[in-house]
Amino acid sequence: MTEYGHQTDFIIELARDLHQGGATAPRLEAAIDGVARRLNLDANIWSSPTAIIITVRPVGAVGDADTITRVVRLQPGDIHLRRLWRLDDIAERVARGELSAADGMQELHRSTRPDPLRRQWLETVFGFLFASAGVAGLLKASIIEMVCAGALGLLIGILAQLSVGRQRVGATFDAAAAFIVALGTTWIAHAIEPISTRLVITAGLIVLLPGLMLTTAAAEVATNHLVSGSARFAGAVATLLKLAFGALVGTRLAQGLGWAPMQALSTVQPEWLETAALMISAAAFALLFKARIRDAWVVLLAASISYYSSKWATPLLGPEVGLFVASFIVSVASNIYSRVANRPGATFRMPGLILLVPGSVGFKSLSFVFEKDVFLGLDAAFSVVTLIAALVAGLVLGSSLVPPRKPL
């Protein structure tokens, strides 16, 4: 095979691997375009959550004799920060000439091997556990509510890992998880301890709520990636529908069984518990986003900046402007990190964004609709739209003022 053939295969495989690593359409296309230009190639790529179409040809080529086009059908990729870091490093080495395109292909195959099964279990199960407990704490829950949310998150994490590779189970997993969490929460509030059922259900399902997907969809539409953004938005709405319906069925079944949940009285949360909840949440994001161990401090710093900037700005400026300010700070900080460390800004940006996305508000909106409280549902839906708009505006403005060195 000629060097051009090796380079073309490398570009196509890199696009596939970046997609499976969770890169969004605008960032994936920018990354591929940058690598191709440094290899003296002209690459045109179209990316959606479920497919890639890419055409590669030498720069200045006349006619279609050397043009290669590939259509790749893919499943939506999950965020995998370790993989994105390795892919970025390989692409840089090939672009600088330190690796040939053929050697780069071998490195790509090695870098995208599945993680050991034990590591997959640990990251998924403890990620769900820590996320549910930590977010419950950030929502001003009591210690007992954090424990309940963490226990339900642990159960859902085990079920999530058991459903890997089982397509039929995966299709109904969101609804089944919401059903189990709603039923379990109601039973705890009925038989064991008074708790805030709505708070614990939201925290127990926090990993499954597609707030980040909704934000990504809005960002893609804002950058004129209309097909990818629309498809991602439809997927997020479908996930919300399944979660809300599952929670409704679980709650109605509990009512049919005669379970009357005892509601907890509001209490003042100690400051140390809020700090502990933030650290637990940061650990969860490091696990769920599959960050490198050495990048744990970056995840903790991003989560802290995101949370405290939102906590400071929202009371002063209101929820919409406060979210705009917080997302702007996260965007600028992630781009500064990318420029200084010469590494993908996603390592900082994703843990920072996850605390700002309004996934729980969208879940509440559909829950109100299913409960036939349409006006509250519409009010919550309008809040989702305005919050996402503020979030995306902050991200776009931050990237405009401090452009990232790397597209990822």
Q: Say yes or no: 175 and 195 in one domain.
A: yes
Q: Say yes or no: 306 and 377 in one domain.
A: yes
Task: Provide DSSP, 265-334.
Answer: PP-PPPHHHHHHHHHHHHHHHHHHTT--GGGHHHHHHHHHHHHHHHHHHHHHH-HHHHHHHHHHHHHHHH
Q: Say yes or no: 241 and 322 in one domain.
A: no
pLDDT at 77: 80
Instruction: Round to whole Å and give the CA distance between 302 and 238.
Output: 29
Q: What is the mean pLDDT of the chain?
A: 83
Residue 192 corresponds to which amino acid?
I
Answer whether 266's CB lies under 8 Å from 255's CB. no
Q: Say yes or no: 31 and 89 in one domain.
A: yes
Give the chain's domain count. Answer: 3
Q: Say yes or no: 260 and 339 in one domain.
A: no
Domain boundary among 234, 256, 290: 290
Winning range, highest mean pLDDT, from 86-90, 191-195, 364-368: 86-90
Q: Say yes or no: 122 and 250 in one domain.
A: yes
Answer whether 112's CB lies under 8 Å from 17's CB. yes
Cβ-based burial of 128 (10 A; exposed 0-12, middle 13-18, buried ≥19): buried
- When pLDDT is cut at 50, 70 and 90, the band that residue 143 belongs to is confident
Q: Say yes or no: 375 and 275 in one domain.
A: no
Q: Say yes or no: 40 and 133 in one domain.
A: no
- When pLDDT is cut at 50, 70 and 90, the band that residue 151 belongs to is very high
pLDDT at residue 238 is higher than 80 = yes
Q: Say yes or no: 138 and 236 in one domain.
A: yes
Q: Say yes or no: 373 and 398 in one domain.
A: yes
Q: Tokens in use for 138?
A: 């950030």
Domain boundary among 274, 290, 306: 290
Q: What is the DSSP letter of 51?
A: E
Q: Give per-residue burial for 240-260: e unless 16+ CB within 10 Å, then b.
A: bebbbbbbbbbbeebeeeebe
Q: Please work out, in degrees rounded to the nearest 5, the angle formed at the alpha carbon of residue 130 by the alpha carbons of 75 and 355.
A: 70
What is the domain range of residue 313?
Answer: 294-408
- When pLDDT is cut at 50, 70 and 90, the band that residue 372 belongs to is low
Domain boundary among 226, 259, 290: 290
pLDDT, one tens digit per residue, over 306-325 is: 888 888 888 888 878 888 88
Instruction: Round to whole Å and give the CA distance between 188 and 202.
Output: 15
Q: Say yes or no: 77 and 141 in one domain.
A: no
Q: Say yes or no: 128 and 106 in one domain.
A: no
Cβ-based burial of 53 (10 A; exposed 0-12, middle 13-18, buried ≥19): middle
- When pLDDT is cut at 50, 70 and 90, the band that residue 115 belongs to is confident
